[in-house]
């Protein structure tokens, strides 16, 4: 066997053994040359051979990566089938407990809802904030009043235009993160006791808003690839007196899907025909893995029924909590509620982010983040398939930074959550993503941090925990 063939065979064996995972970067040509004491030409020949066999792939300006294994299914999760019964929401205590557990410095935060801050340009944004604070020593409350900083509104409007959709800047209201935007929008379209339709599973921030305002949630069957079941939603609207709908069409948390354009259009048309408002949470819209920015429900809205919410917390910095709403025909109500709720949004963070958007290459920053998340999504999913018990299935995120994991029947996610904490690892149990115990054998994992031996060890430990919990239950033996 020639030298380059031996190197190729060694790397291929590591891939087959699961030491090198799909989506993971392999050593650069120069690194491999130095490590194996081979010429660069020999390493290149080995990598070309591996590429021809479909084992690795080259990515311009990024290096060589392990390819996804051929023949792997593209869809593993089944559409959800929740109970079509309105129910009270009580998830805040569990969510607060989970969020507190991730604050420990030595815990591996796989249960965190927040992106890893190492990719954020927070130092540059802080510089802008400090400079602005020195220039404007005398602030008045009028600088912070709704709808928000004119310069930030202008920059956000330009961003929508660059992404292919022209918004009316007079519609935009700056808020304290997307959470406030969602709460204000829900309060504008519904009252205590009303029933709100949500995807199943759904992001717990949506459930928080429903719980806070004394409303009830009704879960709607949701496909892990294409999103909410529109026919089922239409039926529930007619039968259960649904007042409003809350959805995440782009890179939904926790499933990670991107709803197709034709389905987005059909959803808006159906809701328009029934005069039902829909709150669209689009906080992950910029974190796509594909070639083009996804459309939003707002782009198909002709009647003002879409209340579109987003923020910079998932793309620039979660320290400043700057979000916004485009509330359609409910704009007046949302602005009034904003004034009554928190009065203002701090001006310095608004202006600092506006300066970054104007001067510092937001697109370049986003391309780097998207590339990292797409790579880490593949690695995390491959690691779960390798280390977790047989029968474990995962979502296939099209964007964002979270992975939904469905464990074999018989494993309770809350037991796994507590067992993981004993190993200084956090996970998000599925109980947090529905009003009832619909997803008691599911967890959500965060893969925004750069893959490392520590994270791989944590995933391996979680797999051992899951295997142990499965073995404890008679129903899990041999199944």
> What's the pLDDT tens digit per position in 427-452?
999 999 998 778 999 999 999 999 99
Residue 91, both tokens: 């998830």
3-class secondary structure per residue, the chain: CCHHHHHHHHHHHHHHCCCCCCCCECCCHHHHHHHHCCCHHHHHHHHHHHHHCCCEEEECCCEEEECCCCCCCCCCCCCCCCCCCCEECCCHHHHHHHHHHCCCCCCECCCCCCCCHHHCCHHHHHHHHHHHHHHCCCCCHHHCCCCCCHHHHHHHHHHHHHCCCCCCHHHCEEEEHHHHHHHHHHHHHCCCCCEEEEEECCCHHHHHHHHHCCCEEEEEEEECCCEECHHHHHHHHHHHCEEEEEECCECCCCCCCECCHHHHHHHHHHHHHHCCCEEEECCCCCCECCCCCCCCHHHHCCCCCEEEEEECCCCCCCCCCEEEEECHHHHHHHHHHHHHHCCCCCHHHHHHHHHHHHHCCHHHHHHHHHHHHHHHHHHHHHHHHHHCCCCCEECCCCECCEEEEECCCCCCHHHHHHHHHHCCECCEEHHHHCCCCCCCCEEEEECCCCCCHHHHHHHHHHHHHHHHHHHCCHHHCCC
Structure tokens at 419: 């067992």
The pLDDT value given to residue 467: 96
Please tell me the distance from the alpha carbon of residue 110 to that of residue 455, in angstroms, as a whole number: 8
Interior/surface letters 175-213, b for 16+ CB within 10 angstroms, e for the rest? bbbbbbbbbbbbbbbbeeebbbbbbbbbbbbbbbbbbeb
Contact (Cβ atoms closer than 8 angstroms) between residue 251 and residue 206: no
Query: What's the pLDDT tens digit per position in 307-360?
Result: 999 999 999 998 899 999 999 999 999 999 999 999 899 999 999 999 999 998
Query: Which CATH number applies to 120-362: 3.40.50.10490, 3.30.950.10, 3.40.640.10, 3.40.50.300?
Result: 3.40.640.10
pLDDT of 97 reads 79
Residue 321 has a pLDDT of 93
Q: How far apart are CA 444 and CA 170, in angstroms?
A: 38
pLDDT in the model for residue 89: 82
Position 91 scores a pLDDT of 81
Residue 11, number of CB atoms within 10 A of its CB = 23
Q: Is the pLDDT of residue 265 over 90?
A: yes
Please state, in angstroms and rounded to a whole number, the distance separating the CA atoms of residues 20 and 14: 6
Q: What is the pLDDT of residue 139?
A: 55
Strands 216-223 and 195-200: parallel
pLDDT of residue 435: 87
Q: CA–CA separation, 250 vs 79, rounded Å?
A: 17
pLDDT value, residue 470: 94
How far from each other are the two terminal CA atoms of the chain, in whole angstroms?
A: 43
| Residue partners of 207: CB distance under 8 A and separation at least 6 | 89, 91, 198, 217, 433, 434, 435
Mean per-residue pLDDT over the chain, rounded: 91
Whole-angstrom distance, CA of residue 163 vs CA of residue 357: 14
d(CA 434, CA 82): 9
pLDDT tens, 143-197?
A: 578 999 999 999 999 999 999 999 999 999 999 999 999 999 999 999 999 999 9
Separation of alpha carbons 463 and 68, rounded Å: 21
> What is the band of 476 on the pLDDT scale with cuts at 50, 70, 90?
very low
Rounded Cα gap, residues 380 and 370, in angstroms:
15
Q: Summarize pLDDT for 352-396 with one digit per residue, the tens.
A: 999 999 998 899 999 999 999 998 998 999 999 899 999 999 999
pLDDT band at 479; cut points 50, 70, 90: very low
Check if the beta carbon of residue 426 is closer than 8 Å to that of residue 99: no
Model pLDDT, residue 383: 93
| The pLDDT value given to residue 138 | 58
474 pLDDT band (50/70/90 cuts)? low
Residue 206 and residue 282: Cα distance in Å, rounded? 12
pLDDT of residue 331: 98
CATH number for domain 3-66, candidates 2.60.40.10, 1.10.1380.10, 3.40.50.720, 1.10.10.10: 1.10.10.10
- Integer Cα distance of 323 and 68 in angstroms: 36
* Confidence band, pLDDT 50/70/90 cuts, at residue 93: confident
How many CA atoms lie less than 13 Å away from 218 in the CB half-sphere? 22
What confidence score (pLDDT) does residue 103 get? 67
- % the chain with pLDDT above 90: 72
pLDDT of residue 72: 53
Residue 37 main-chain phi, psi, to 5 deg: 55, 50
Only one residue has tokens 């998207």, namely: 370
Mean predicted confidence (pLDDT) in 44-49: 90
**Any idea which fold 364-476 has?**
3.90.1150
State the Cα–Cα distance between residues 64 and 359, nearest whole angstrom.
Answer: 32
Structural domain boundaries in the chain: 3-66, 120-362, 364-476
Residue 102 pLDDT > 50, yes or no? yes
**pLDDT at residue 38 above 80?**
yes
In contact, 312 and 168? CB cutoff 8 Å: no
Contact at 8 Å (CB) between 313 and 282? no
Does the pLDDT value for residue 236 go beyond 50? yes
pLDDT at residue 326 in the model: 98
The reported pLDDT for the residue numbered 75 is 42
Q: What pLDDT, on the 0 to 100 scale, is given for residue 144?
A: 74
The Cα–Cα gap between 449 and 444 comes to: 15
Q: Is the pLDDT of residue 104 over 50?
A: yes
Please state which of the ranges 57-71, 224-238, 251-265, 287-301 shows the lowest mean pLDDT: 57-71
Question: Position of tokens 């354009």?
Answer: 261
CA–CA separation, 262 and 393 (whole Å): 27
- Whether 185 and 307 have beta carbons less than 8 Å apart is answered as yes
pTM of this structure: 0.86
């Amino acid at each position: 066997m020639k030298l380059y063939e031996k190197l190729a065979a060694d790397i291929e064996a590591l891939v087959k053994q699961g030491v090198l995972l799909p989506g993971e970067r392999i050593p650069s040509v120069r690194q491999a040359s130095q490590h194996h004491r081979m010429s660069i030409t020999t390493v290149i020949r080995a990598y070309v051979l591996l590429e021809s066999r479909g084992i690795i792939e080259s990515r311009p300006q990024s290096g060589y990566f392990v390819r996804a294994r051929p023949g792997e299914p593209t869809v593993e999760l089944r559409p959800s089938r929740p109970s079509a019964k309105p129910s009270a929401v009580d998830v805040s205590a569990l969510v607060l407990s989970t969020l507190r557990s991730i604050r420990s410095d030595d815990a591996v935060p796989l249960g965190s809802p927040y992106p890893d801050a190492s990719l954020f340009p927070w130092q540059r944004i802080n510089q802008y904030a400090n400079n602005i604070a020195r220039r404007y020593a005398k602030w008045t409350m009028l600088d912070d009043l709704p709808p928000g900083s004119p310069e930030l509104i202008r920059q956000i409007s330009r961003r929508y235009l660059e992404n292919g959709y022209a918004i009316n800047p007079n519609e935009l209201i700056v808020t304290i993160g997307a959470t406030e935007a969602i709460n204000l929008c829900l309060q504008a379209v519904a009252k205590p006791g009303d029933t709100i339709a949500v995807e199943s599973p759904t992001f717990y921030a949506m459930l928080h808003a429903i719980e806070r305002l004394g409303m009830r949630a009704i879960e709607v069957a949701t496909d892990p690839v294409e999103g909410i079941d529109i026919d089922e939603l239409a039926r529930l609207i007619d039968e259960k007196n649904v007042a409003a709908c809350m959805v995440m069409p782009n890179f939904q948390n926790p499933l990670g899907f991107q709803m197709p354009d034709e389905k987005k259009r059909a959803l808006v048309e159906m809701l328009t025909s029934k005069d039902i408002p829909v709150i669209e949470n689009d906080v992950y819209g910029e974190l796509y893995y594909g070639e083009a920015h996804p459309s939003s429900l707002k782009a198909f809205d002709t009647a003002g029924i879409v209340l579109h919410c987003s923020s910079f917390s998932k793309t620039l910095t979660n320290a400043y909590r700057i979000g916004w709403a485009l509330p359609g025909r409910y704009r007046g109500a949302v602005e009034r509620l904003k004034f009554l709720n928190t009065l203002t949004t701090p001006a310095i963070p608004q202006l600092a982010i506006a300066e970054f958007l104007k001067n510092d290459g937001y697109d370049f920053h986003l391309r780097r983040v998207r590339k990292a998340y797409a790579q880490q999504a593949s690695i995390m999913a491959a690691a779960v398939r390798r280390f977790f018990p047989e029968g474990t299935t995962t979502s296939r995120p099209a964007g964002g930074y979270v992975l939904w994991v469905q464990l074999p029947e018989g494993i309770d996610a809350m037991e796994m959550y507590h067992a993981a904490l004993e190993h200084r690892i956090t996970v998000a149990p599925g109980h947090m993503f529905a009003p009832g115990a619909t997803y008691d054998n599911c967890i959500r994992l965060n893969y925004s941090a750069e893959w490392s031996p520590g994270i791989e060890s944590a995933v391996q430990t979680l797999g051992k925990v899951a295997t142990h919990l499965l073995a404890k239950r008679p129903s899990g033996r041999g199944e």
